[in-house]
Amino acid sequence: MANNQHEKEAFRGTGGLLLTLGIELVLYALIMAIFLDHGGTTLIIDVILAAAAIVYFKRNHALADKISATLAANRKAAWIGVIVLLLAVPFVLQASAYWLFIVITAGLFMMACLGLNIQLGSTGMMNLAGAAFQAFGAYTAGLLALNYGLPTWLTLLAGALVTGLFSILLFIPVLKTKGHYLALVTIAFQFMVVILVENMEWTGGPQGLKNIPLMNFFGYSFNEPLNLGFITLHKYANYYYFTLLLLFALGIAAHRIYHSWVGVTAATIRDDEVAAQTNGVQVNKWKLTLFVLGNCFIGLSGAFYSHMVGFISPPNFAFDKSLVMVSIVILGGMDNVLGIILGAFLLIILPEKLRFIQDYRFMIYGIVLIVMLIFQPRGLLPFVPRSYAELIQRYRHKLLQGKKAQGGQEA
């Protein structure tokens, strides 16, 4: 019923459509302005605007509700608008390839964090070895491409799968420990992997792997500028569009998992493992499956990275990076795909902009992390508990079918 009420409150018709697109366009312009501005003025203005908007909407709930209802009512148009605007990013950032590169990096973090979110947000399994799993993906792809000259699509796939396989190494600790202890297991694993990679011959040791072939799909090299006929975009545009494609695919996959029985199973495990087990949930099976699945996402992002930059070395996969990934998931809001996007934007792109305070960057990063977690411990976009009414609605026909089948058998 709540849905209907919202629809009544929404701005209807063309006005609503224009408002939706207008909001998107304004937000987009504000964000792109940050990249295009060489100094930090726009950033400061944006932060002030964002703070003002938050304060205003907190006081004026009615308007906020109305706007969100309008967005919900124009869902299709809103998505089309978002896609068009995202496709336009390389055009806008034509002159500043550096920022396009940063945006892609943030995209790779989002990819990894989608996987981490399956583990941490949905199932409640701590994983502070994200960077180590990324290293598995990156080194697998790099070594396969360097030593055997395998094509990119295969090395990317292999990177994801091998990472999944290696994460099975950790299955006993993951199933048998939780809380602080699981955190320690993953931290120990993270350090072990980095030390081993640094000391082994065939991984290139501290020098890492150089000259990894850049992406090349069936003869189309990503290293060439993207020529669209009327305009020639920087070569990073290739990577950008591919990242976007992968993110959409993985995002949809994560969304489907969240809204399936697997997602519900994960939620029961997170909320109360013992209760889940007593109710017949196969806790161990699902924990392992979701852990491996999440690591596949992380491994894919690592493989992508090695093919984009062409050079990987152990410091690329240090503990700090794992920490950043976990921070993105928690700061954005657990079990929430939108939160991950916001978190990656805040933790990857903004610090890059803060280069004008150079040296103090990481210190400020630490302080901001502390302040945000103390004042907003549930993340910027706190996760909304599932509505089981909605879930039953969604699966109603399935449940009814099941009942009918049962009834038929009994009769």
Partner 1 sequence: MSVLDMIIQQSINGLMLGIMYSLVAVGFTLYFGVLNVINFSHGDFFMLGGFMALILYGIADTLGWTQNVPLLIIYLFLGSMILTALIAIITARICVKPVSKAPMLISLLVTLGLGIAIREAVRVFYPRGSDPKGFPTLLPQGSLSIGNIVIRYENVIIFVLGVLVIVVVNYLITKTKMGMAIRAVAQDGEAAMMMGVDLDRTIDITFLIGAAVAAVAGIMNGFYYGQIMFNMGAMMGVIGFSASVIGGLGNVYGAIVGGILFGLLETFAAATLPMGAENKRVFAFFIVILFLVFKPTGILGEKVYERV
Q: Per CB under 8 A, does 196 bind partner 1?
A: yes
Does 283 interact with partner 1 (rule: CB under 8 A)? no
Q: Which is nearer to partner 1, 13 or 315 (CB)?
A: 315
**Member of 68, 177, 289, 313 binding partner 1 (CB under 8 A):** 177
Q: At what angle do helices 180-199 and 319-332 cross, to 10 degrees?
A: 140
The per-residue b/e assignment along 366-385, b for 16 or more CB within 10 angstroms, e otherwise, is: eebbeebeeeeeebbbebee
Residue with the two structure tokens 């495990």 = 269
Residue from the set 52, 54, 188, 252 that interacts with partner 1 by CB under 8 A = 188
DSSP annotation string for 11-53: PPHHHHHHHHHHHHHHHHHHHHHHHH-SSSHHHHHHHHHHHHH
Residues 6+ apart with CB under 8 A from 159: 136, 137, 138, 140, 141, 299, 300, 302, 303, 304, 306
Q: How many angstroms separate the CA atoms of 331 and 348, rounded? A: 12
- Of residues 144 through 173, those in contact with partner 1 by CB under 8 A are 172-173
Nearer to partner 1, 62 or 274 (CB): 274
Asked if residue 195 binds partner 1 (CB under 8 A), the reply is yes
- Minimum CB–partner distance for residue 334 and partner 1 (Å): 8
**136 contacts 288 by C-beta, under 8 angstroms:** no
Q: Is 315 in the site for partner 1 (CB under 8 A)?
A: no
Classify 393 as helix, strand or coil: helix
Q: What character string, x for contact with partner 1 (CB under 8 A) and - otherwise, covers 103-132? A: -----------------x-----x------
> What's the token pair of residue 98?
């550096």
Using the rule CB under 8 A, which residue among 192, 231, 338, 405 binds partner 1? 192
Instruction: Name the segment binding partner 1 (CB under 8 A); options: 14-22, 104-112, 195-203, 297-305.
Output: 195-203
Is residue 198 a contact point for partner 1 (CB under 8 A)?
A: yes
Q: Which of 45, 43, 34 is nearest to 92 (CA)?
A: 34
Site residues for partner 1, 346-385, by CB under 8 A, read: 359-360, 362-363, 365-367, 369-370, 373-374, 377
Nearer to partner 1, 93 or 185 (CB): 185
- Exactly one of 26, 56, 88, 176 binds partner 1 (CB under 8 A); which one? 176
Phi, psi torsion values for 34, nearest 5 degrees: -60, -45
Alpha helices in 40-149, H assignment, sequence order: 41-59, 61-73, 75-87, 89-92, 97-117, 130-143
103/174 with CB nearer partner 1: 174
Pick one of 146, 183, 253, 309: the residue that binds partner 1 (CB under 8 A).
183
| Strands 220-221 vs 232-233: parallel, antiparallel or unpaired | unpaired
Q: How many residues does the chain have?
A: 411
Q: How far is the CB of 120 from partner 1 (least distance, A)?
A: 8
Binding-site ranges for partner 1 (CB under 8 A): 120, 126, 172-173, 176-177, 179-181, 183-185, 187-189, 191-192, 195-196, 198-199, 274-275, 319-320, 323, 326-327, 330, 359-360, 362-363, 365-367, 369-370, 373-374, 377
